[in-house]
A and B are shown apart, each in its own frame.
Chain A
Amino acid sequence: MKFTLPIILVAVTAGLMTLALFGAGHSSGTVGIAAGSAVFSTKASTPEQGLNNLLADVQRRNWDRAYSALSTTSAGDRQSFIQDWTGSDGSLRSFSSLEGFQARPLHATNDDAQMRVRLHWTTPVGPIEDVRDFHLIREGGTWKVAWPKMQISSVPAQIIPVTYLRWDLVSGSGSDEWGSKNVDAPHVRIISMNAVDSAEGAVVMGEVVNEDTIPAFVNVNAALVDGAGKAIDDESSFDKIDHVLLPKQVTPYRIDFPNINLKNVKNVRMDVKATLVPASADPVIGVMNQKVVSDVQGKSILQGDLMNESGQTVNIPHVIASFYDNNGKVIWVSDGYVNRALLPQSGQPFAVEIPKSLAGKVQSFHVVVNQYSLVRS
């Protein structure tokens, strides 16, 4: 009797493990949502298994098997296929790895299927979700992904003349005497502030301008204060701001207070800190074709194209957008990292999300681009 319970537990555990290993891969005919890390099946008898196999190989970086298992109708070459998954030019994708996915069919016939996949990436800037559609074809009884021809940015060899402009910070080599180092900190000003409740907590946002004639490194801090004058929490804008502001430049900022409701907040104490910083006026990045549209999932997004107008590669572009209502008040600040590097004189699409509840109120927007370049750092 005393061995009955352990035997049952071992048997149930073994059964669950077997089910986990083979059950998911063999659920033929299921048209549902596949999720989690991919497990390879020897033969893909369903579109889900075909997609699963590809993503399993991508996760393991088994490029030979992944590429050879693509449909014969695939258009891209092996190099562009690999580059599409691994990134290049020091882009964010090249520092990311595919952690998991969720797939759901859009439509399926006997011989072809369309699957929509949410790809979950781990990246140095936090988890990023990517939505992508895959076309699968049944070839000889096996479902395979038909890989489309990818547009990989390439830049012809060229000379781009740049009028170089930068500011260096000289701390002074003289004595450390009182008053001898009279370089004032840059003058920056918070030009707008708005506090709202969101699904994740309280959000304080707005815009800051550098009113000075020199670049400034800017950080905005906010403290939420209750009715008794006691600080509830204080946070900084962290990466939801363009930290280096050139003269007269404006940046949005957003400060998140997770799990805090504004009904408990009596006052918000704002503090903007600006310090002198060496900076360069390049690269200049244009933000083209900005439009608020609905994406394939029905979400409101601001999309457009970034255009690198300089001769320097921007490895990780970061887009920050402020959205205004019809009174010109900032009602939301969104940001997003672009997976691909922005090569000189070339473009990359971007999109940032607008919360559903605010989409109808957005009258205009302002986009700034923060850039991280390996050469500079």
Chain B
Amino acid sequence: MNSSQATDILSYDPGNFYDELFAAQGSVRPEQALLGDALSQMGPPELLARQQAAETALLRMGITFQVYGDEGKGERVFPFDLVPRVITSPEWNRIERGLKQRITALNLFVDDIYHDKKILKDKIVPDWVVYSSKGYLEPCEGMNPPLGIWCHICGSDLIRDEHGDFYVLEDNLRCPSGVSYVLANRMVMKRTLPEVFARMNVRPVADYPDMLLQTLRSVSPHTQGAPRIVVLSPGIYNSAYFEHAFLAQQTGAELVEGRDLVVSDGFVCMKTTRGLQRVDVIYRRINDDYLDPRTFRPDSVLGVAGLMEVFKAGRVAIANMPGPGVADDKVVYAFVPDMIKYYLDEDPILPNVPTYLCSREEERNHVLQNLDKLVVKESDGAGGYGMLIGPASTKAEQDTFADHIKANPRGYIAQPTLSLSRSPILLKDGTLGGRHLDLRPFVLYGKDIKVLPGGLTRVAMREGSLVVNSSQGGGSKDTWVLNQEGGVS
């Protein structure tokens, strides 16, 4: 690096964290030297100008989301940071193998739970863990989805500790969202830092819609002609509506709401200007509970009455199936390494974050004595809500959580407060500041299992914050997975 051109970025302090870009202060990781040089040479004014251009492009494209309880403010742009998060080829290969292993085991687990329950009979997972999970759906007992696949689209959340090791923080087997931001971020980044992007040999992500389409087609119950695929959305006021529309557009699927569908003569049909038309595959983006008021919540108006009967008759496929949410429960999560061992006879490639179950007395006591050190989460919580981050909490908050835990031990788990990795983001003054981040890769499970290279890097935009969720002010970065030969020039 030419030190005479060095600007502010080399004064960036990675702190006592694993930093994604810097190996140490003033020293960019060798695989990312091109990126470091480019940022350094551009300097604050140019970086700020490019950041501004990227934000304007995202706003005009309407790449927004809605925060619940915040309807008055309408749509918000998902905050975006122009410094990409880079993952090297060897790192990625391991993640990809780990994710494939994990989804295979999770899918076998879900199928087992709704059929023979061998893993319960063999006492690997206790009965109560499964039957007390809110995601366990009794009506799914005995259901047989095409190819035995329950979890077609999965988005597990990964984090990195202070040594740079990846862990799985949670699995999202119901309706993981965020993939449209991956594609949009990439579109914008190719315009924002084209000269760096061109030289870094980054693996493309643009084929995701095609992979998704193939996955959805592969589970169609009807083999004659091109299957008609729909994306079932709650509508334009849903927080992820942009994504629903985007995926429908990119895959050529119809974007439908529950009111557009009806069960007629034993098939699911959509109401069109040419009358009712049969639907073969439903990529649903509404919750399990709402899918079919006759099977699940009777008050639901978002779903389709009679859908599950059509499914059982083998006349429509649903992705993801209702039911896998049983494994999104954080108590069930704690058993995923055991599932991998049980079903695949392999050791987990990607480890879990160590988890204490408050329903076990010994572990509960440990948690209660260490509330100031641990992160406590609701077993069925999501979106960064209902959490206690021990080291950042007050005594009063700890006491409240202690009461919650004692009243409902099954409802809580605890994990050590990991020192999440950080990456620099561009601050308002044009300098760089370190912020914590995670990674949500997307896995598609059809005839084959495919993993989109990279995924959504979510970053806490507030200094010191460990919460990366978009609903709580988190932003995102483009994720660059380098090709084998990439990164070094």
Does A associate with B in a complex? Answer: no
Partner-B contacts on A (CB < 8 A) = none
Partner-A contacts on B (CB < 8 A) = none
